[in-house]
Structure 1
Amino acid sequence: MIIEFRCEREHARLWMCRETLSVDGQDVPVQIAWTATIQPRPAGLEVLFDLERMVLRKGKAGGADALKAIPERSRAPLGKADVVVDFTTATRDPSCSARLYLRPRFNGAAGENAALAAILAGDLPVIEIVNELDGTVMDRGHPSGEIATGLSGSLDTVMARTLSMLAAVLSGTPRLVPQLAPSAGSSTPQNPAAYVARGLAASVAKEIYRLCCYAPHWHVGWRYSENADVWHTGDLSGPAWNVLGDPGHRFFADPFPVKWQGRTFVFFEDLDHRVGKGIISAIEFDGHGPVANVLPVLEEPWHLSYPFLIEDNGELWMIPESSEHRDVPLYKCIRFPDKWERHSTLLSGLELADVTITRHNGLYYLFGAWRDGTGGYSDTLAIYYAEQLFGPWTPHANNPVLMDRASVRPAGNFVNINGRLWRPVQDCSNGYGAALGLAEVLELSPTTYRQAVRHSLKPGPAWTGRKLHTLNRCGQLEVIDGSRVQPKTTVFRSGLLSTARSSLSEWHSAAGAKPIARRLQ
């Protein structure tokens, strides 16, 4: 198979310079056909991109950077293309004999300007891959922008995810095309210069915030409830939430409760801000609340979080997230709760975050937020299945199954209610871990997957703070987590943080944007 990218010469970008595209683990050759520009870009766009690279990315190259020298071809023509991917707005040549003629669309329109318009209107666009030979939408997804920096970073994220979707389409497996609404935002794109000014203001605000506060600072909430739990009410109402105390320079996140050998413990990520690396800790609960002290239970040279727990064959197992280490490890409990040994590696060589497993119709299914080295961390779902916990694990026929920042990333254990399977999901529409969704699994097999988000949970009067990120339950003990402002010293508690908020709010307003002070909550 030969793939041909059709791109505009005058707006050639670094992401276009590739000789292959990985499809099903195979490097498929790519050739580029440069075309003339049909739609001009906003005035000064490339200058702004250069400014962002120097100021926001400290000189680091990005996929949206302009190519300084445009080769006629990186090598001799490979031959007649089997697949054409047209990134322009040009009319398709009816004489083209490629078996597939694909056109990426951004909020329903083709071309880079459509992607830029969506970003400038305040959000990343919904991406569609359309086969122009028959008008079929072959895949659809909504990327997350939690690591995107500025306008160029957002465009880079969009194009990275477009390439991920193209690889999935070209794999030949049937795609499960979700229905996704176009991204929200003002109908009229804003001026690029104002967008960059806001980006610079936000970057400075973040630096001042990090100087004054530990960020992000997650904390665990807990309560005992019988019939007023989140899964029954669909919201955070019911008994008041308590906060598990932390030392201030450490945060607690990703709580997983378990009752084992007659004792109940909550396991969680324990991250020391001064080190920047997470370990797994635990604390015992006695039916009224936490008892004793926080106990470290598992540490590795790399970062650990999301300590998913599962009972199997009379043993207790843990799968902490170690996507930084590019594997999915399985640890066996040797002495509860504080001694764990690595037993095996379920999957290796991939970034898979927040792995969560359920049993369904006689099989084990492993869910995780998948990343192929580019783009966001919270927008792409991969599923694997096996006959036993130890594997071997087989990829779902439609991997990656779904791309949707609002309903992909796992947020806790699956729950079975009256024969219906549910899972909590992270809603990252407004940033990483901003809210929770309760999704009903409508269909799950090695070849199919469908879900529907029935309830959305956001921070508010019942759970104050900026975010809501994980939900789990053990008996009547229910746990969640969120984030809050955590000043680094008592000096900031006494007024400096308020001054910083006030100054930043004034500066940000002067830049033509909404006040930024509320973002520091």
Structure 2
Amino acid sequence: MIIEFRCDRAQARLWMRRETLRVSDQDIPVQIAWTTTPGPGPAGLDMLFELERIVLRKGKAGDVDRLKTIAERPRMGNPDVVVDFTTAERDPNCSARLYLRPHFNGQAGEAAALAAILAGDLPVIEIVNELDGTVMDRGHPSAEIATGLSGGLETVMARTLSMLPPILSGAPRLVPQLAVPATGSAPGNPAPFVLRGVATSIAKEIYRLCCYAPHWHVGWRYADDADIWRTGDLSGPAWNVLGDPGNHFYADPVPVKWQGRTFVFFEDLDHRTGKGIISAIEFDGNGPVGTVLPVLEEPWHLSYPFLIENNCELWMIPESTAHRDVPIYKCVRFPDKWERQGTLLSGLELADATITQHDGLYYMFGAWRDGTGGYSDTLAIYYAEQLFGPWRPHASNPILMDRATTRPAGNFVTINGKLWRPVQDCTNGYGAALGLAEVLELSPTIYRQAVRHLLKPGPLWTGRKLHTLNRCGRLEVIDGSRVQPKTTALLNSLRSSDRPAQREWQGTLAKPIARRLH
């Protein structure tokens, strides 16, 4: 197979240097056909991108930076598949079996993607086969790393490229029914957008100087028949907040009852180091008892401590994307001693891995990322006959790309014979809301789901976000974020009369101020 990218010479960018595309574990060669389309691009775009590179990306190069030298690569022959990133008319003499053109909010070309970003959001991406007008796939990327106009365009193009391999593999696609916003194909003046982005970045730096951001906290309650899965909302018994020391945040709570005792495990991130470990605290019939115990730490960041019982043993599968694998740990002393027993998957970023058993197989769901693009918009599924594998990729991986319905948000539940899973809705930012999705069909070749309820922070759960839901018996846990001034943690340290902590806090506050003064 030969794949041909058709690109506009006037919009040559670093991502266009790609020489292969990985399809079904094979590297397929890519040739570039350069075209020239009429009409100027947005005025001063290169200069504005350079400003963002210096200020927002701290000088780091990006895939949408200008390709200064275009190296003409020899053609390998007539393409089997054309992917046209331009707005030029399709060549009627082209003999390719597939002629794909990405659309951004219904329009083709880079200008359409820029117009959508300038209008305030990343566009819905559609991959259209122009030979018959079929929409082969559709997705809506998340914007966690989309800093500025250039970062938004980089995220959009990265996700556009990641949508191509599953189409070319011939796997069945779950094409989400997403509303396509109506935006024009011609971008407006990008200068005000970029300057606002720079100003916002400076404001965020000032905010981070005064507050820890983000600061997640865990909510808990004892619920009988008024739990979230039965009510579809946050009503019922009032939510309590698990106290934290202020300079740590707690997130991704997972409760479990083992050996007659109930503990809630969670990500415990120290703001001063930026690295997470797994900690736990015991609960009795009234609430938390004792103190928080560190239970698992690695040299890299850990989070989302998914727990599963198998063969009368308790196992933990924490998120380990920083190490690019999916590890599994055995509990050798509950709750505070765990030993790594193996690696379920390696060489990939799979966030919030969550496992369920269905029709005699184990299925692992996770938010997949191929090194670029957002962290919360692409779903991958793997399946195995046993917990330790071997784990095989679902035939349609990645299953779908939709920031509102992809990333796991807690354990699966079965209600009246139906399988459900909580999902993060990142439409308004990472972890902003939580959806309850019914699994309609699940097999090694097919997956379908439907979100039935959407939960957002509000009077019943104050804060800015809501992104995890789990339950064990009567104990129900969620999490969210709040504003956490650094002075609050300082006062906590002073009250504890911890002189080393006081000195540490003085240094924490003084050093950023000194850097900005100098």
Structure 1 residues 4 and 330: alpha-carbon distance in aligned structure 2, compared to 1, 3 A threshold: same
Say whether the 8 Å CA contact 1:123–1:183 is kept in structure 2. Answer: no
Say whether the 8 Å CA contact 2:426–2:432 is kept in structure 1. Answer: yes
What's the C-alpha RMSD, in Å, of the aligned pairs?
1.6
CA apart distance, 1:492? 9.5
What does residue 393 of structure 1 align with? 391
CA distance, structure 2, for counterparts of residue 122 and residue 343 of structure 1: 46
Q: Secondary structure at the match of 1:359?
A: strand
What does residue 121 of structure 1 align with? 119
Q: Secondary structure at the match of 1:174?
A: coil
What does residue 508 of structure 1 align with? none
Say whether the 8 Å CA contact 1:53–1:59 is kept in structure 2. Answer: yes
Say whether the 8 Å CA contact 2:172–2:446 is kept in structure 1. Answer: no
What does residue 102 of structure 1 align with? 100
Structure 1 residues 453 and 420: alpha-carbon distance in aligned structure 2, compared to 1, 3 A threshold: same
Partner residue of 1:478 out of 476, 479, 490: 476
Per-residue CA deviations over 1:194-251 (Å, capped at 9, x if unaligned) read 1112211110111111111111110000001111111111111111100000000001
What amino acid is the match of 1:43?
Answer: A
What amino acid is the match of 1:464?
Answer: T
Greater displacement, 197-206 / 154-163: 197-206
Answer yes or no: is 1:44 the counterpart of 2:44. Answer: yes
What does residue 342 of structure 1 align with? 340
Structure 1 residues 342 and 202: alpha-carbon distance in aligned structure 2, compared to 1, 3 A threshold: same
What does residue 53 of structure 1 align with? 53
Per-residue CA deviations over 1:363-422 (Å, capped at 9, x if unaligned) read 110000000011001000000011111111111000000100001000000011101111
| Mapping for residues 86-101 of structure 1, pairs under 5 Å | 86-101=84-99
Say whether the 8 Å CA contact 2:42–2:187 is kept in structure 1. Answer: no
CA apart distance, 1:186? 10
| Mapping for residues 87-486 of structure 1, pairs under 5 Å | 87-183=85-181, 191-486=189-484
CA distance, structure 1, for counterparts of residue 306 and residue 80 of structure 2: 44
What does residue 512 of structure 1 align with? none
Q: Secondary structure at the match of 2:405?
A: coil
Greater displacement, 169-178 / 234-243: 169-178
Say whether the 8 Å CA contact 1:20–1:30 is kept in structure 2. Answer: yes
What does residue 22 of structure 2 align with? 22
CA apart distance, 1:39? 4.0
What amino acid is the match of 1:7?
Answer: C
What does residue 507 of structure 2 align with? none
Per-residue CA deviations over 1:444-496 (Å, capped at 9, x if unaligned) read 01100001111111110001111101000111100000011111125999xxx
CA apart distance, 1:174? 2.0
Say whether the 8 Å CA contact 1:280–1:298 is kept in structure 2. Answer: yes
Say whether the 8 Å CA contact 1:124–1:183 is kept in structure 2. Answer: no
Say whether the 8 Å CA contact 1:122–1:185 is kept in structure 2. Answer: no
CA distance, structure 2, for counterparts of residue 397 and residue 333 of structure 1: 33
CA distance, structure 2, for counterparts of residue 444 and residue 44 of structure 1: 49
CA distance, structure 2, for counterparts of residue 491 and residue 221 of structure 1: 20
Segments ≥4 residues shifted beyond 4 Å: 183-190, 490-493
What amino acid is the match of 1:227?
Answer: D
CA apart distance, 1:253? 0.4
Structure 1 residues 403 and 41: alpha-carbon distance in aligned structure 2, compared to 1, 3 A threshold: same
Say whether the 8 Å CA contact 1:122–1:186 is kept in structure 2. Answer: no
CA distance, structure 1, for counterparts of residue 479 and residue 182 of structure 2: 27
CA apart distance, 1:65? 0.9
Per-residue CA deviations over 1:249-298 (Å, capped at 9, x if unaligned) read 00100000001111100000001111111000000000100000001111
Structure 1 residues 471 and 206: alpha-carbon distance in aligned structure 2, compared to 1, 3 A threshold: same
What does residue 509 of structure 2 align with? none
Say whether the 8 Å CA contact 1:123–1:185 is kept in structure 2. Answer: no
Structure 1 residues 271 and 24: alpha-carbon distance in aligned structure 2, compared to 1, 3 A threshold: same
CA apart distance, 1:69? 1.9
Per-residue CA deviations over 1:109-166 (Å, capped at 9, x if unaligned) read 1111111111111111111111111111111111111011100110000000000001
Structure 1: which 5+ residue stretches go unaligned?
Answer: 494-521
Total equivalences in the alignment: 491
Say whether the 8 Å CA contact 2:105–2:123 is kept in structure 1. Answer: yes
What does residue 504 of structure 1 align with? none
Say whether the 8 Å CA contact 1:225–1:478 is kept in structure 2. Answer: yes
CA apart distance, 1:191? 3.2
What does residue 66 of structure 1 align with? 66
Q: Secondary structure at the match of 1:409?
A: coil
Structure 1 residues 114 and 187: alpha-carbon distance in aligned structure 2, compared to 1, 3 A threshold: closer
CA apart distance, 1:37? 2.0
Structure 2: which 5+ residue stretches go unaligned?
Answer: 492-518
Say whether the 8 Å CA contact 2:112–2:187 is kept in structure 1. Answer: no
Say whether the 8 Å CA contact 1:24–1:171 is kept in structure 2. Answer: yes
